[in-house]
């Protein structure tokens, strides 16, 4: 019986020492991985970017900004930005996003061959009085660099003066 207890004790001690040794080895490996992963950005190799992300789109817009001037509240206004494909490849507009829900974009959906023209239309819902500046972002398949179009102006509010408050009458 005494021999059995001693054998169990020895087996438990052996198991604990092997387990502790394995944990120490894992901790050492983890420290090495952490050290190699924390290379300063200045010494890390630069990320390679595709050539398409560096060049501007092949669509040449006649204008990139339009000022509506003074407009009436409650009456939407629209401007059409026209462009021409000045590249040697066919270009597709993949997305057009307005900076807010008050502006609705529309655009040429078909592929634009070299030398062909198209449009991006921005309609602004003049619901709130005051000055506004909104953007429309155009994304194409020929580059990762987006084209930003701008519309701006001033919405004239109600010109009727507010009624004067009536004085309270004591009774």
CA distance 170 to 41: 77
**Which residues in 150-169 are b (16+ Cβ under 10 Å) and which e?**
bbebebeeeeeeeeeeeeee
- Reported as type and span, the H/E element at residue 154 is strand 147-156
> Which range (43-47, 67-71, 92-96, 165-169) has the least confidence?
43-47
Phi-psi region of 86 (alpha: psi -120 to 50; beta: other; left: phi over 0): alpha
CA distance 136 to 99: 6
Q: What residue spans of 38-153 are helical by DSSP H?
A: none
Phi and psi at residue 35, to the nearest 5°: -65, -45
Dihedral sign, Cα of residue 49, residue 54, residue 59, residue 62:
positive
**For 26-49, what is each residue's pLDDT tens digit?**
444 544 444 444 444 444 444 444
More confident residue, 127 or 54: 127
**For 144-157, what is each residue's pLDDT tens digit?**
999 999 999 999 98
Residue identified by tokens 């194409």 is 140
Q: How far is CA 131 from the centre of its chain?
A: 25
Mean predicted confidence (pLDDT) in 110-134:
96
CA distance 23 to 30: 10
Are the C-beta atoms of 96 and 139 separated by less than 8 Å? Answer: yes
Q: What is the pLDDT of residue 10?
A: 54
CA distance 114 to 138: 18
Q: What is the mean pLDDT of the chain?
A: 77
Q: What is the pLDDT of residue 140?
A: 95
């Amino acid at each position: 019986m005494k021999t059995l207890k001693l054998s169990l004790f020895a087996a438990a001690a052996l198991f604990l020492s092997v387990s502790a040794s394995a944990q120490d080895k894992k901790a050492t490996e983890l420290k090495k991985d952490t050290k190699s992963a924390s290379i300063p950005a200045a010494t890390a190799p630069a990320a390679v970017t595709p050539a398409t992300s560096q060049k501007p789109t092949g669509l040449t817009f006649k204008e990139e900004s339009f000022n509506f001037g003074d407009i009436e509240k409650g009456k939407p206004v629209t401007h059409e930005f026209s462009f021409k494909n000045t590249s040697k490849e066919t270009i597709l507009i993949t997305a057009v996003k307005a900076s807010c829900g008050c502006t609705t974009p529309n655009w040429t959906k078909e592929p634009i061959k070299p030398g062909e023209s198209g449009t991006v239309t921005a309609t602004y819902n003049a619901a709130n009085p005051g000055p506004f500046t909104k953007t429309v972002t155009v994304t194409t398949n020929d580059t990762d660099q987006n084209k930003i179009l701008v519309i701006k102006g001033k919405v004239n509010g109600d010109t009727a003066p507010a009624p004067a408050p009536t004085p309270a009458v004591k009774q």
